[in-house]
Amino acid sequence: MERQLIFVPVARAELDAIQGESRLRDRPAHRVTPELLEELGFEPDQQEDAEYATLVLASVAALAAHGERLVLVAEVDAALISEGEDPANGGCVVSRVPPAAMTCWFGDADDVDVTSAAAAAKGLGIDIAWEMDEVQQLLHGHDLLWNDVEEFRRQD
């Protein structure tokens, strides 16, 4: 079974999917696609850089959709992934994200104010949101923090 790394923009209330409480089904997600590699000028040996760029793109999608940058990372069976509307930004759709496939999640530190960037990006596509000054200030001013899913599962 071939597995692929996906980046799923989520709302804070959906983080409980890590514990299997809510289910992530038929979700827009992001992955490294040939179109993304070409669009961003990555060579095939720059997979790690392309994955980081995909994470950042997914974080902008999360900001536009949910008002904060939260991205769940999973390694799922490739059969669960179908083409999305925006392959140049890694767009895909994942039919389901099993909790066992989830490896980590990324988000902003609690003290990072995303209010103006979220307001500017609300409801926009990635390409338009990306161009907003408030979004660029957030991207350049604050790195996303890595969080282990096992730590989240132990919070109860």
| Domain annotation covers residue 17 | yes
| Domain annotation covers residue 94 | yes
Domain count for the chain? 1
Read off the pLDDT of residues 114-151 as tens digits, 9 standing for 90 and up.
999 999 999 999 999 999 999 999 999 999 999 998 87
Both tokens of 153, joined, read 């599962």
Residues in the chain: 156
Both tokens of 34, joined, read 């040939």
- The whole-angstrom separation of Cα 20 and Cα 100 is 9
Domain span at 84: 3-150
| Domain annotation covers residue 34 | yes
pTM of the model: 0.94
Q: Buried b vs exposed e over 19-28: b needs ≥16 C-beta within 10 Å?
A: eeeeebeebb
| Domain annotation covers residue 156 | no
* Burial zone of 42 (CB within 10 Å; 0-12 exposed, 13-18 middle, 19+ buried): middle
